[in-house]
Structure 1
Amino acid sequence: MKKRGFEVVKKYQNANIELPVRATHHAAGYDFQAAEEVVIPSIWKSGIDLKELGKSLFTDRSRLEALLKPTLVPTGIKAYMQEDEYLQLANRSSNPLKRFLVLSNGIGVIDSDYYNNESNEGHIMFQLTNFGIKDVVIKKGERIGQGIFLQFLKADQDETLGERTGGFGSSNTEK
């Protein structure tokens, strides 16, 4: 019986995707690579006048929201694990310091029922925002983040709302 691990999603079966590995014997995280080249645009690229920034928050929120929306970087990978485990996605420590890239959601949580979901087969993607002054190009095969398998505990009065019905960013459930 398989306990936990990684597989390539069907869309990337013939794209020479490498499964995540730990960099050293004592490393907790498995390094994920980009499945394709992706440009992470600078949040400053649109040329928003900083004097007008406050006004635009109230007058043109859609433009500002589009500018600040994270970029999804595909990995071509899905993860399987036990029911009481999850895969925590974390940024590489060098990304903010050297490249001004932050993991937009702080950490990512990949639940065990995300594996092989109908929407996207459980494809893991990293949400990155570039707060630097120029665009950053992520090349195919470049390490973008890491994943750590963790076990979680349930409350005595644990109750769920139903089964997963969606994919990425989904908390859609049916009771």
Structure 2
Amino acid sequence: MKLQVKIIDPRLKNWGFPRYGSGAAAGMDLFACIPDVLKLKPAAPPQLISSGIALNISDECVFALVVPRSGLAHSEGLVLGNSVGVIDPDYRGACMISAWNRNPPGGRSILIRPGDRIAQMIFLPFIRPEYEVTDEFSSDQGRGDQGFGSSGVGPDE
């Protein structure tokens, strides 16, 4: 699959976009394309930050996910305000990052500098099934409507 990427923010050329953290990394790092340092206060509303790119995903059965960088999320509390961002294959606008400081009120603020790698983007195929509305399912897979802990938590459950 060929992916057309439009560079909206010219600083990305100097920052080395696109970039993967390793040879086997699934996620492409996204940079904070902001004019100045941004201070995210704990538990404040999320801020939309441009990634500086737009995409032309040529395959209508592929989409992109914007997800947190695991180290920043775990150690700093920098997550996405929408948990996961979805970039549909027909969207051509700027890819945005909803950055949120999940630290509790009174906790530590997060400083984001222009060019910081704050999120990552992965590409996945998806299926759009045809729907058949029914009153009863045609087969039973054994579990039925049991959920939320019904399979237990221990190794012998």
TM-score normalised by L of structure 2: 0.70
Alpha-carbon deviations, 1:106-164, whole Å to 9, x = none? 1110011111xxxxxx1111111113323221111111111011111111249xxxxxx
Q: Is residue 109 from structure 1 mapped to residue 86 from structure 2 by the alignment? A: yes
Q: Map of 1:155-166 to 2, 5 A cutoff?
A: 155-157=129-131
Conserved in 1, the CA contact under 8 Å of 2:4 and 2:55?
A: yes
SS in 2 for 1:106: coil
1:126 aligns with: 97
Q: Give the helix-richer structure, 1 or 2.
A: 1
Distance across 1 between alignment mates of 2:63 and 2:110: 30
Moved over 4 A (4+): none
Conserved in 1, the CA contact under 8 Å of 2:28 and 2:120?
A: yes
Match of 2:18 among 8, 17, 20: 20
How far has the Cα of 1:3 moved from its partner?
2.4
Any unmatched runs of 5+ in structure 2? 133-157
Distance across 2 between alignment mates of 1:88 and 1:135: 26
Conserved in 1, the CA contact under 8 Å of 2:30 and 2:51?
A: yes
SS in 2 for 1:129: strand
1:41 aligns with: 40
1:149 aligns with: 123
Q: Give the strand-richer structure, 1 or 2.
A: 2
Any unmatched runs of 5+ in structure 1? 45-67, 116-121, 159-175
Larger Rg over CA atoms:
2
Read off the aligned partner of 1:114 and give its amino acid letter.
Y
Number of residue pairs aligned between Structure 1 and Structure 2: 125
How far has the Cα of 1:41 moved from its partner?
2.5
**What do you get for the CA RMSD once the two structures are aligned?**
2.1
Identity of aligned residues (%): 30
Distance across 1 between alignment mates of 2:116 and 2:66: 16
Distance across 2 between alignment mates of 1:40 and 1:91: 17
Q: Map of 1:53-132 to 2, 5 A cutoff?
A: 68-81=44-57, 82-115=59-92, 122-132=93-103
TM-score normalised by L of structure 1: 0.63
1:138 aligns with: 112
